[in-house]
Chains A and B, each alone.
Chain A
C-alpha cells in the first residue's frame, strides 16, 4: 500500500554501515562495529523526517550513508525507485546533485581561504560548468534566497557570524537545485532566536521548492517543529519511528521516553517521570539482547534473551520493544 504512495522520494531498506573493529597493539579482533544496523524508513517528497538520538547513535552516519558519502555495507537506498547503494561513483553523479548535505559545522564546511561568492558558486562550477558571470548571478540569487545581503559576497568565512555561515552553507547546498537535503544538526551551533529563524527559513524553502528534508538533530524541540515523522536511533538501530505527534505524546519505546525526559521543553508536562539513564553508547551491546537492555528501566528477562524486532503499533508507528509504551504498565 505504502509503496505506491511513495514511488517518488526516498525509501531506505535494511541499511547497514559496518566498520572493521579497530585493531589495537597486540590484540586483533576480526569482528565489525555496526555503526548502522538494518535501518529503514520512507521519506515522501516534500516532507521532513526527523532523526533523533544521542551523540554516537549513528545519526550523522545515516545522513552520510544515504548520500553515499560513507561506504554502505548492506541495504538499499531507493531514490525514485533507483537503488543508489549499488551505483558506481560515475553513475551516482547525476543523483548527487539532487541530494545535498548541510554540514553540522558550517565553518568547517567552507574553505577558509575562499570568498563567500566562490564558496556558493563552487557547486555551480562543478555541476554545470557555468562561466564566471553566470556563477556570480546565481550566487547573488542564492544569497538572497537564504536572506543574506549581497555585500557578503567578497567576505571570507571567518568574517561571518554563526547564523550567516549556516545560511551560506544552506545557499551552497541549494545551488544545484536539490530535491533532498540532509540537514545535519543545522541549528546546534546557533542561539535560540537564530535557531527559530533558520528553522522558519527551512520551512519556507520546503514549501517553495517542495524539498524533502532528512533532519538530523538531538534537539527534540527543533525536530518537533519541522518534522512530520520521527526516527529514533540508538546505537545505530531504529528504536521507534512514527508520526511526530504520536511519538512525542505517546512514546512507545523507553528510550524515546528517556530522550523526552531529558528535554522536558519539547512537550511540557508530558515528560515521563523516569530520569534519563546515563548512557555509554560506545559499549557494545550484549549479543542476543535488546541493545537498550543495559540502560532500560523497564527491562524484563525476555529483553535479555531476545532482541525485539520492529513491530507495528498501528497508524504508521513502529517500535522495537517487547513491552512498548502503555502496555508496560499493564504488565507491571
Chain B
C-alpha cells in the first residue's frame, strides 16, 4: 500500500508528462469557452440587427412566383410556402427571439434577485412563507404554466417577455436566497453589523457583491432557457403571431413542409436556435469555470 503511493508520486509532479497532458486542454478549453460563446452570440446579434441593413429585403413580402424555392442566389436560404424570403425572415425572427429572451431574462433576474434577497435576509417566517410559495409554483410544469397564461393574455412582445420572465425567476430566486443565507453568516457581514450597518446596506454592499458573479453566470444559462422556451412556445403557435417571424415560429410553419422536401424551412431556424443556445451555454460554462478558479485561489 505504502509502496504504491510513494511510487505514484513522481507522475503527480507538476512538470510530469501526465499532469501536463491533463491540464493543458482544460485551461485552454476554459478560456476559449466563454470567449467563443460570447463571439458566437455577438455574431447572432449582428446577423439579426446589422444583417437587414446589408440584405434589405422585406420579410413579409410575398413572391408568388417563387413559392417553396430552394436556396439559390436570389433567395440564399430559399422561400416558404407563401414565397417569403427565409433569410430576411430569419433575421427579423432573430431580432424578436433574442430581444424577447433578453428582456425575459432581465425580468426573471430582477424578480428572482428581489424575491430571493427578501427571503434570505428577512425574518424566518417570511423566508418560510416565500419558499413554500415558490415550491408550489415550481410544482407546476413551466410549459403548462406558460400555455395557460398564453391562452388568456393577448400575445405581443411585451406579454411574451413577461410570460417567460414568470417562469424564469424561481430558479434565480432560490439561488439568491441560498447565497444570501450563506453570506449573512460570514464574519465580514457580522463585522459590518457591529459597525452599525443596516439590512439594506449589508444586502447591497456585501451580499449582492458576493453573489453577483454566480448570479450573472446563472443569468446566461437562463438566457439559453429563455431562447428555448420562447422557441417552444412559438412552435406551439403561442409565440410571436404570424405573419411576423420568430425562430420558433419559422420551425412551426416549416415542420410539415420539410417532411416533403423543403428542408431549408427548418434547417436554418433550427441551426439558429441551436447556435444561440450553444453560445449562451458556452458563455455560462466558461464564466463559471473562471469563477470557480477565482474562488479556489
Hey, which bits of chain A sit against chain B, CB under 8 A? Answer: 67, 69, 93, 96-97, 100-101, 103, 105, 108-111, 113-114, 122-123, 126-127, 158, 172, 176
Hey, which bits of chain B sit against chain A, CB under 8 A? Answer: 186-188, 190-197, 201, 205-206, 209-210, 297
Nearest CB in chain A: distance from B147 CB, A: 40
Known: A100-B194, A158-B297. 19 other contacts (CB 8 A): A96-B195, A96-B196, A101-B191, A108-B187, A109-B187, A109-B188, A110-B188, A111-B205, A111-B206, A111-B210, A113-B209, A114-B209, A122-B192, A122-B195, A123-B196, A126-B201, A127-B196, A172-B191, A176-B195
B188 closest partner in A (C-beta)? A111
Contact of A126 among B187, B188, B195, B297 (CB under 8 A): B195
Contact of B187 among A96, A105, A122, A158 (CB under 8 A): A105
Known: A126-B201, A158-B297. A101 touches B194 (CB 8 A): yes
Cβ B191 vs Cβ A126 within 8 A: no
Q: Which residues of A contact B205 (CB under 8 A)?
A: 111
- C-alpha spacing A225/B194, complex, angstroms: 28
B189 closest partner in A (C-beta)? A111
What are 26 A-B residue pairs whose CB atoms fall within 8 Å in the complex?
A67-B194, A69-B190, A69-B193, A96-B194, A96-B196, A97-B195, A100-B194, A101-B191, A103-B187, A105-B187, A108-B187, A108-B188, A109-B187, A109-B191, A110-B188, A111-B188, A111-B209, A111-B210, A122-B192, A122-B195, A123-B196, A126-B192, A126-B196, A126-B201, A127-B195, A158-B297
A106 closest partner in B (C-beta)? B187
B198 closest partner in A (C-beta)? A126
Contact of B194 among A69, A105, A110, A111 (CB under 8 A): A69
A-B CB pair tally, cutoff 8 Å: 45
- C-alpha spacing A90/B186, complex, angstroms: 22
- C-alpha spacing A111/B186, complex, angstroms: 9
- C-alpha spacing A109/B195, complex, angstroms: 13
Q: Which residues of B contact A96 (CB under 8 A)?
A: 194-196
Nearest CB in chain A: distance from B195 CB, A: 4
Q: Which residues of A contact B201 (CB under 8 A)?
A: 126
Q: Which residues of A contact B195 (CB under 8 A)?
A: 96-97, 122-123, 126-127, 176
Cβ B197 vs Cβ A126 within 8 A: yes
Q: Which residues of A contact B194 (CB under 8 A)?
A: 67, 69, 96, 100-101
Nearest CB in chain A: distance from B158 CB, A: 36
Nearest CB in chain B: distance from A322 CB, A: 40
Nearest CB in chain A: distance from B149 CB, A: 39
B213 closest partner in A (C-beta)? A113
Cβ B209 vs Cβ A103 within 8 A: no
